[in-house]
Chains A and B, each alone.
Chain A
Amino acid sequence: MDNATFARIDAKLFHRLHWGPLDPVTFRLNGGQELTGQVMGVYRNGATGELRGGPTGQVLLATALGETAFTYEQISEIE
C-alpha cells in the first residue's frame, strides 16, 4: 500500500472515530461490499513509527453478524 493512500485511510478513520457521530461506522470496501459496525480494533504498521516496509493497516469491526477484519487496502470509503 502506498504511503499516500494509507495516510488518507488512516486520517479518515481517525477523523471518523474522534469527530464523527457515535453511530456505527460504515466502511465501503473496494469490491462494493458495505460493512457497518463498531470499530473494535485498529492495527497499524507504518502509521507513526519507523518500521521498514510499506505501511499496512487492519480494522476489526463488530457488526450485527459478528466480528470481521479487513485491511486498509480493502477500504474505499469510511462514513
Chain B
Amino acid sequence: MTDKPVENPMMDRLRKLHLTGRDTTMGNVLRKFWQPVGRSEELKPGKAKTVRVMGEDLTLYRGESGKVFLVGGYCPHRLTLLANGWVQGDEIRCMYHGWKFDGKGQCTERPAERDASQPNVHVVSYPTNEYAGLVFAYMGEGEAPEFDLPRKGVFERPGALQFARVEVWPCNWLQQVENSMDAVHVSFVHHWGTVGSFGAVVAATVPELSYEETDAGIRQTAVRSAGSKRVSDWTFPNNNHISHPTLNLEDPWVDVGVWMTPVDDESTMRFLIYSIPSSTPEADARIHDYFENYSEYDPADHHDDLMLRGILPDDKLVQLTSAQDYVAAVGQGTIVDRTKERLGRSDMGIAFLRRLYWREMDAIEKGQPGKEWKRLSHDADLPQQVKEAVA
C-alpha cells in the first residue's frame, strides 16, 4: 500500500473533483461535452417531463414536430413546473396562467397581460441531439461542439439490436466513473452473491492493469491470463464502453456504452446503450424478448434488498451486473470522502483518471484551452475481449 500523505494542498483538489454545480470547475468541465439527459422512447410527441441535470431543474419535451427541446424547469411567472403544461406545436404553455415558451426559452405569449410584447421574459434553453435512443444536451457556454465525441461505430451498425436504459443511483457520479476505471472490482464485485454472464467470462483473479491516454479518453487493459484480456474505451469525461457476452456464449457480444450524468452531486443518472449485432432470427428474437422483459430495472428501487439483505435479482445479465455495481458504489456513501482513502498501486487507473481531470480543471481555472478530445478514428481502438474458458 502506498503511503498516504498527511493533510497538504494536494488534498484540496480531491475535495472538489466531484462537484458539478455551474459555478464549479468540474461542473464547467462536464458542461463542455454533450451529456445524455433522457431516453427518446419515454418522450412521445407532445409530452414533457421534468429532469434535473447537474443541479439544474429543466423541462425536457418533444414538440409535435418530433423535435426534442430542453428548457428551464419553472415558469418564471409564478415558478410552477413547466413540464405540467401543454406542448403546443414546438412550444410549451404553462398550466398555471398560460405563459408560453418556444424551444429557445423565449416567452411568446402571456395571455392575461394584454400586452403583445414579451419584455425579456425567457427561461434557459440548451441544444439537444438524439442518438442511439438517448437525448443528449449541451449545457455549456457558447456554441455547442459538433456532435461527434459521444458517437461510436458499434452504436451505428445497421440492423443491430439496440436498447437504451436509465437508472438513477443515490450517489455521486464520480463514484460510478471511478468504478469503471478500476478493473480489479470486476473480479470481486461481479462475483459477489452470484456469478452472471459478465462475471462468468472474467476469472476471480486479480488482473494486470495498463492505462493509456487516447484521443478520446483512457484505454484500460486488464489481463487475467493468457486467454483473458479486457480492453475498455473510456471517453472523457464520463462515458465508458465495454463489451461482454449477451445471454449465451455463442451469442454476438454486446457493446455497452454507459454515461454517468449527475442529477446533482448526490444522485446520478446512469444511461446505458446496449448494442448487439443481428445474428440469427431465433437469437435476435430471444435477445429482443430478454431486453423487453428485463431491462426496465433500477437497483435503486431494490435498495434495501441489495444493501441490507444481500438479495440479488434472479436475472443474470443486465439486472445482476447493475445490482452488483450499485452495492459497491452506493456502499461508499452518497459522496465518498476521498481524503480518507488508502489507495494502493492497483489503483493506478484511479490516479491516471484523476490526474487527467485535474489537468483539464487546471486549464479551465487558468483560462487555457484544455485538450481537444475527439472520437477514436478506427475500430482497433475499441473494446475487445478474448473469451476465457468458462466452466
Query: Do A and B assemble together?
Result: yes
Q: Using CB atoms and an 8 Å cutoff, list the residues of chain A in contact with chain B.
A: 7, 10-11, 13-15, 17-22, 38-51, 60
Chain B residues 204 to 222 lying within 8 A of chain A, measured CB to CB, are 205-213, 221
CA separation between A20 and B354, bound complex, in Å?
12
Inter-chain contact B208/A18, CB cutoff 8 Å: no
* With A41-B210, A41-B211, A44-B209: A7-B351 Cβ-Cβ less than 8 Å: no
Inter-chain contact B2/A49, CB cutoff 8 Å: no
Interchain residue pairs A-B with the least CB separation, the first 4: A41-B212, A18-B351, A49-B208, A43-B210
CA separation between A51 and B347, bound complex, in Å?
18
Identify 26 residue pairs between A and B in the complex whose beta-carbon atoms are under 8 Å apart, listed by A's number. A10-B348, A14-B343, A14-B351, A15-B2, A15-B3, A17-B351, A18-B347, A18-B350, A18-B354, A22-B359, A41-B211, A42-B212, A42-B352, A43-B212, A43-B221, A48-B207, A48-B345, A49-B205, A49-B206, A49-B207, A49-B208, A49-B223, A49-B224, A50-B206, A51-B208, A51-B223
Report B-chain residues with C-beta under 8 Å of the C-beta of A17: 348, 351-352, 355
Contact partner of B208 (CB less than 8 A), chosen from A7, A21, A39, A45, is: A45
Inter-chain contact B352/A48, CB cutoff 8 Å: no
Contact partner of A40 (CB less than 8 A), chosen from B213, B351, B354, is: B213
Report B-chain residues with C-beta under 8 Å of the C-beta of A43: 210, 212, 221
Report B-chain residues with C-beta under 8 Å of the C-beta of A49: 205-209, 223-224
Seed contacts A20-B10, A41-B211, A48-B206; 10 additional CB < 8 Å A-B pairs? A11-B2, A11-B345, A14-B347, A19-B5, A22-B362, A39-B355, A41-B212, A43-B212, A51-B208, A51-B225
CA separation between A17 and B355, bound complex, in Å?
7
Considering the complex, give the chain B residue whose CB is closest to the CB of A51: B208
Inter-chain contact B345/A42, CB cutoff 8 Å: no
Report B-chain residues with C-beta under 8 Å of the C-beta of A19: 5, 8, 10
Report B-chain residues with C-beta under 8 Å of the C-beta of A22: 355, 358-359, 362
Q: Mark each residue of chain B from 341 to 374: 1 if its CB lies under 8 Å from any CB of chain A, else 0.
A: 0010111101110110011001000000000000
Report whether over half of chain B's contact residues are helix, strand or loop; otherwise say mixed. Answer: mixed
CA separation between A15 and B207, bound complex, in Å?
21
Inter-chain contact B345/A47, CB cutoff 8 Å: yes
Inter-chain contact A50/B205, CB cutoff 8 Å: yes
CA separation between A57 and B85, bound complex, in Å?
60
Report B-chain residues with C-beta under 8 Å of the C-beta of A13: 348
CA separation between A15 and B346, bound complex, in Å?
12
B184 within 8 A of A: yes
Inter-chain contact A47/B209, CB cutoff 8 Å: yes
Considering the complex, give the chain A residue whose CB is closest to the CB of B222: A49
Give min CB distance, A72 to chain B, whole Å. 12
CA separation between A15 and B359, bound complex, in Å?
16
Considering the complex, give the chain A residue whose CB is closest to the CB of B341: A18
Considering the complex, give the chain B residue whose CB is closest to the CB of A60: B212
Give min CB distance, A33 to chain B, whole Å. 23
* With A14-B348, A17-B351, A22-B362: A42-B210 Cβ-Cβ less than 8 Å: yes
CA separation between A49 and B343, bound complex, in Å?
16
Inter-chain contact A14/B355, CB cutoff 8 Å: no
CA separation between A55 and B374, bound complex, in Å?
34
Give min CB distance, A36 to chain B, whole Å. 15
Interface centre among A13, A17, A48 (most CB of B within 10 A): A48
Chain B residues 1 to 57 lying within 8 A of chain A, measured CB to CB, are 2-3, 5, 8, 10
